[in-house]
Every structure is written in structure tokens, then in C-alpha cells.
Chain A
């Protein structure tokens, strides 16, 4: 990251400055560090929104820049959440159990403690033993590594199989939907070892921070999310700014041509797919401690479709567009579905936004796709006056007087 990098890409610096201002503003208005103009629950909503912005950046990299319409990136997001959730749940239950057993006449053996934790966690699905996938749940370091490794490995294997067979376009989108659906269905089963449809809960209680009020914890997670978003934005703009960015945009526009230039298209796709899966996983690992609960419904196919909608509305192919789209639409969604939006009385029918919000979202997605393909981010172009040629347009045509192909043959 040199000075010239920021000079060439001033939007990165502007974005980071705005993010820093936003973080500072929220902190000063929070309950923990200020007069409490912003409630703790809203701080959590904002923190979660920043995580969604981060996963939107990942989506923009893979779709907006590389042209792979992945409709499965929420699988990686959710897996990241599950990995950190396992440690959170284990460590907190361990603290409760040891607290309870401390009063027993005989000091408990490690086996007794372990059994007690397992009964606490898995009683809800009728189990009392730790499944194999919980082998490392007691180690924060290992679970943090798994946040990156498990989704990264899944993306690597899935991507290798799909790209090697040259699956592209809508078929790849369907395949990614199938992947996230299969994962969700698997996790819904009780014997998958992650508490089935109950999911993991109580994640907002951070082990070892029992006496820290939620108002402070929420602000700390908000900071962590802002930092992750800033780093993710820097990384993504580094990836797309140089020759690598030119190659992946080339793959988006004309895959075969890039191949005949000697670039291994499959290798590049796999690289971007795996990198974005890891970014999504990190976003998920920060999201779910703020949400407090994760269950398999979070990685249902619809979640990944929403992700694509956010990026499309924000403006794909530009990083700030993805952030704006995810932030704007998900906050709006919270407002509409939270019952805060006033009902619209049409006389014969009253529009209740809780029911109608999704219709509104769907309609605006169609509208943006049809009439403003550059999304909200396209407004910036209107201000700065830059216009790009329509890259799917026809050639400007031969120069005046050029021989037509028919004439050339004569």
C-alpha cells in the first residue's frame, strides 16, 4: 500500500474516511460511550450491517468483477458463524457448568465436566455426547483457524470441480444454490452434530466477559466489524486495481479470449472464488456473535439471492456500490420488517409493510436491472460525469468507405 495507490484510487481513501467518521459518530452516540442516542440493539444492527457490507464486497469481487454469479456465498458466511459459534457456546457452557459443580462435595473429574457440558448443549436434540466435529471446540485458536479453513476448503473443492468442468453462467448459479441448500438441509438434521434446527444460541454472551455490559460488548464488535470492513475493502481494491483486476474483468467480458491469451481462466476463478469465500466466512464469524443465534435457516438459498440483490441495487463492478447496496437495503429491510414503517392506507386496502416489503424489494430489483444497471453507485458517475462505453454494444462499425465482407469476397 503505497501513497501512489491511494492517489490512483481516491475512492478508497474517501471510503475509509467515511467509515472512520461513521464509526466515531456511532461510538459517541452509543450507550456505552455517549449519551445513548443510539440504543445497544441498534448498535448491534449497525455492526451486523457492516458485516453484511463485507460479504457484499466478496460478492462484488466474484460476481461484479469476475462474472461468476455465485448464489451460494451465504453458505460460507454461515459456516464461518458456526465455527466461531461452537467455541462461544462451548466456553460459556463450560463456565456455567464448572460454576455449578464447584459446590459439589467431590471436585469433578474432567470427564464429568465434559459430560455435563455435552448434556447442556445437546440435551435439546436428545444427545449427551460430543459429536466428532466438536473435537476442537474448546480451543479458541483452532476454531478461529477453522473459520477460515472450513469455508475456504469447501470453496476450493467445490470451485475446482465446477470450474474444471467449465460450468459457467446460469448452470453455475444453480450449482451454487444446490450447494447452499444441501448444506442447510444437512445442518437441519439433528445428527449432523450442530444441534439441527435449534442452531447455536447465546452467542452474544462472550466467555470471560461476563461482567462487561452488552452495551460495551456491542460497541467492541461494532469496531471489529468496521475494522474488518476497512481491511476487506483495502484488500479487494488491491486485488482489482492492478493487472489481476484487468484479467478477471477480462474473464467476465470474454472468457475464451483470456484463455487464448495464455491465462488459466480456471485458476483465476478458483482463486477469486476461494478468496471471497474466506472473506464471507470472516464476515459471518463477526456477524453471529452480534446476532446471538445461528441456525441452518441462515444459509437457506434465499439468503444468497438477497446478497446478489444488494450488490445489484448498489451497483456491481464497483466496491463502494456493493457496500452502499448492502447497507442501504438491509437497513431498509430492518425498518420495514421491524414494524416501524407506517402502514399505507389505500382506502380499500391497507398495505402492511411487514408483508409487502419483499414485494417492494423484488420490484425494485427488477427496476434496477432494467433501468439502472449501474445501481445506486451509478449516481456517482452522474456527479463526476464519467461514462463508460456499453461493453455489450455492437462495434462502432467499419470506417466510412470500408469494404463490406460481401464486397471483399468479389
Chain B
């Protein structure tokens, strides 16, 4: 299987603290992967590096078939290259309607000039409605995003990610603060999304990871501690020591 994203030998330190230490990671074009690890293991920093928010001190981050380096690109260029990111806290544009939030994320030319003269086509409207169906917000399209509940905001943000049609989705703790039913719905959305693209989920909650039923990467102190199925890593002695056995 070819790789979509290849991170190799990446290190970064903040004021002498090594947040990421010689980390290597690969993911294929249609794969679901969960990243677990204790607080401070470098999960969020890892996402920051891939999305261009943080520049690593050393190492390589290669993207796509042409093995393009992501290290020289800005956040928006990386996003346009096909990497979407969902933050831990739901961040949607609360002042705007659910429809406008989704429409803004639709994969279209993003240059100021063409956005200025952009006019919504019927196909765009259909696509937004279709997305709203996938995330269960069909009835809420005209509401302002600020009025949605916490779980609905999380879904809206996932919907905005899907609208971007990314090839790699980075999702940070999608299930935090959700009810059981909401969690199941979230799992379905993510599993469905991973059929056609790569999805990386950072999660604390083992039950949620088990339900995703995918390969798991365990991070500890900025590098990979173990990788494999959930059963495999939970039997790993190092993993038990640093994470599960506490």
C-alpha cells in the first residue's frame, strides 16, 4: 500500500522541552488510525506540525504521491493540498448560519478575487444539503451555528471538514463531552469518511477507540511507543506501564 503522509525523524522542542522526539509515522490513502497517549505525549503538537502551525527543528514531513514536503508550506496551502483539521474545542463560525459555515468550507477556488465574484450554484446548495444530511443537521441549516448544542457543533465542524474534501482528516478528541448516542453517530461518520480517505483520530477514551476498530498508534514522550491493533497494543508491556497501568 502506498503512503499518503510520511513523517520521519521529526523533533521539536519548546524552551528546551522536547515535545516531539524523533517521531516517525505513516498513513495510507484510505485508512482509519487512532492515536492514543497520556497527556503531554505530543499528540496535539504532532497535528500542529502536520498542519503547518508548528515548524519542527528537524525531520521530514512528506505528502502525497509526489512526496511533497509540507515544511515549506503555509497553513492555508497545506489545507488546500488536502489536509483538514478538527480542533479539540468545536470551532465553528457562531455568527453565521450552519449553511454558510458549510458553504464556506466547500472545496472551491479560495483566492480573494474569485470568492468575491462567487455565486452559489444549485449544485453547491445540493452538496451542502447532502453534507447536512450526513452529519444529521438537515433541519438546522438556517440556524446560527452559535445556537447549536455542543455535540451538534462538533458534527458541524466534522461536516465542514468533509466539505473541504480532504485526503487526510486530522480529528482531535471528537467525542469529548458527547452523550453515548452522539458518540455512536460520531463513530459512524468517521468510519464512513475513512472509506475514501485517511482519517487520524486523537482520542483519550479507550471505549471510543475500540468502537472505531482500527490500527492504533501509542505516543509517549514525543515518540511512538507501540503500533498495531488495540488488543495488540494493550498487551504491550511498555504501554501498560506508561499509560494503561496507572
- Which residues of A are in contact with B by a Cβ distance under 8 Å? 239, 242-244, 246-247, 249-250, 253-254, 256-257, 259-265, 267-268, 271, 388-391, 393, 395-399, 401-405, 408-409
Q: Which residues of B contact A397 (CB under 8 A)?
A: 149-150
Q: Which residues of A contact B115 (CB under 8 A)?
A: 242-244, 247, 263
Q: Say which residue of B93, B153, B164, B208 sits within 8 Å of A254 (CB atoms).
A: B93
- Is B179 interfacial (CB-CB < 8 Å)? yes
Contact B160 A398 (CB under 8 A): no
Stretch at the interface among B59-67, B105-113, B189-197: B105-113
Q: A100–B8 Cα gap in the complex (Å)? A: 83
Contact B104 A250 (CB under 8 A): yes
Contact A259 B178 (CB under 8 A): no
Q: A116–B88 Cα gap in the complex (Å)? A: 72
Q: Which residues of B contact A389 (CB under 8 A)?
A: 94-95, 144, 146-147
Q: Say which residue of A246, A262, A388, A402 sits within 8 Å of B164 (CB atoms).
A: A262
Q: Which residues of A contact B95 (CB under 8 A)?
A: 249, 253, 388-389, 391
Q: A352–B16 Cα gap in the complex (Å)? A: 62
Contact A262 B90 (CB under 8 A): no
Q: Which residues of B contact A254 (CB under 8 A)?
A: 91, 93
Contact A388 B144 (CB under 8 A): yes
Q: Which residues of B contact A267 (CB under 8 A)?
A: 111-112
Q: Say which residue of B80, B96, B149, B178 sits within 8 Å of A246 (CB atoms).
A: B96
Q: Which residues of A contact B204 (CB under 8 A)?
A: 408-409
Q: A390–B92 Cα gap in the complex (Å)? A: 14
- Is B85 interfacial (CB-CB < 8 Å)? yes
- Most A CB contacts (10 A, CB to CB) among B93, B104, B183 go to B93
Q: A402–B183 Cα gap in the complex (Å)? A: 10
Q: A55–B1 Cα gap in the complex (Å)? A: 59
Contact B91 A263 (CB under 8 A): no
Contact B144 A402 (CB under 8 A): no
- Which residues of B are in contact with A by a Cβ distance under 8 Å? 51, 53, 74-77, 79-80, 84-85, 87, 90-96, 100, 103-105, 110-112, 115-116, 118-120, 144, 146-151, 153, 160, 164, 175-180, 182-183, 204-205, 208
Q: Which residues of A contact B51 (CB under 8 A)?
A: 260
Q: A239–B115 Cα gap in the complex (Å)? A: 10
Contact B118 A398 (CB under 8 A): no
Q: Which residues of B contact A390 (CB under 8 A)?
A: 146
Q: Which residues of B contact A391 (CB under 8 A)?
A: 94-95, 146
Contact B150 A399 (CB under 8 A): yes
With A242-B119, A254-B91, A389-B144 known as contacts, the answer to whether A261 contacts B164 (CB < 8 A) is yes
Q: Which residues of B contact A242 (CB under 8 A)?
A: 115-116, 118-119
Tell me the smallest distance from the CB of B38 to a CB of chain A, in Å: 10
Tell me the smallest distance from the CB of A152 to a CB of chain B, in Å: 15
Contact A399 B116 (CB under 8 A): no
Q: A144–B160 Cα gap in the complex (Å)? A: 45
Q: A408–B176 Cα gap in the complex (Å)? A: 7
Please give me the residue from chain A that is nearest to B178 by CB atom: A402
- Ordered by A's residue number, 24 sampled pairs between the chains whose C-beta atoms are within 8 Å are A243-B104, A244-B118, A253-B93, A257-B87, A257-B91, A262-B76, A262-B164, A264-B77, A264-B110, A267-B111, A267-B112, A268-B112, A388-B144, A389-B147, A390-B146, A395-B153, A396-B147, A396-B150, A399-B150, A399-B151, A403-B178, A403-B183, A404-B177, A405-B177
Q: A239–B91 Cα gap in the complex (Å)? A: 25
Q: Say which residue of A246, A260, A403 sits within 8 Å of B75 (CB atoms).
A: A260
Q: A70–B147 Cα gap in the complex (Å)? A: 31
Instruction: Known A-B contacts: A261-B104, A262-B79, A405-B176. Give 19 more (CB < 8 A).
Output: A243-B120, A250-B93, A250-B96, A253-B93, A254-B93, A256-B75, A259-B79, A262-B110, A389-B95, A391-B95, A397-B149, A398-B179, A401-B179, A402-B178, A403-B178, A403-B180, A403-B183, A405-B177, A408-B208
Please give me the residue from chain A that is nearest to B118 by CB atom: A243
Tell me the smallest distance from the CB of B140 to a CB of chain A, in Å: 13
With A244-B112, A254-B93, A405-B177 known as contacts, the answer to whether A260 contacts B85 (CB < 8 A) is yes
Tell me the smallest distance from the CB of A23 to a CB of chain B, in Å: 29
Q: A192–B208 Cα gap in the complex (Å)? A: 69
Q: A396–B148 Cα gap in the complex (Å)? A: 7
Tell me the smallest distance from the CB of B53 to a CB of chain A, in Å: 8
Q: Which residues of B contact A253 (CB under 8 A)?
A: 93-95
Q: A244–B113 Cα gap in the complex (Å)? A: 9
Q: Which residues of A contact B178 (CB under 8 A)?
A: 398, 402-403
Q: A250–B150 Cα gap in the complex (Å)? A: 19
Please give me the residue from chain A that is nearest to B51 by CB atom: A260
Contact B75 A402 (CB under 8 A): no
Please give me the residue from chain A that is nearest to B116 by CB atom: A244
Q: A405–B88 Cα gap in the complex (Å)? A: 11
Q: Say which residue of B80, B111, B177 sits within 8 Å of A398 (CB atoms).
A: B177
Q: Which 7 A-B pairs have the closest CB atoms?
A: A262-B79, A389-B146, A262-B80, A398-B177, A398-B150, A259-B75, A271-B112
Q: A399–B177 Cα gap in the complex (Å)? A: 9
Q: Which residues of A contact B111 (CB under 8 A)?
A: 264, 267
Q: A242–B176 Cα gap in the complex (Å)? A: 34
With A242-B118, A271-B112 known as contacts, the answer to whether A403 contacts B146 (CB < 8 A) is no
Contact A403 B118 (CB under 8 A): no
Please give me the residue from chain A that is nearest to B83 by CB atom: A260
Q: A256–B205 Cα gap in the complex (Å)? A: 27
Q: Which residues of A contact B103 (CB under 8 A)?
A: 243, 246
Tell me the smallest distance from the CB of B166 to a CB of chain A, in Å: 9
Q: Which residues of B contact A256 (CB under 8 A)?
A: 53, 75, 91
Tell me the smallest distance from the CB of A396 to a CB of chain B, in Å: 6
Tell me the smallest distance from the CB of A264 to a CB of chain B, in Å: 5
Q: A244–B80 Cα gap in the complex (Å)? A: 17
Tell me the smallest distance from the CB of A261 to a CB of chain B, in Å: 6
Q: Which residues of B contact A402 (CB under 8 A)?
A: 150-151, 177-179, 182
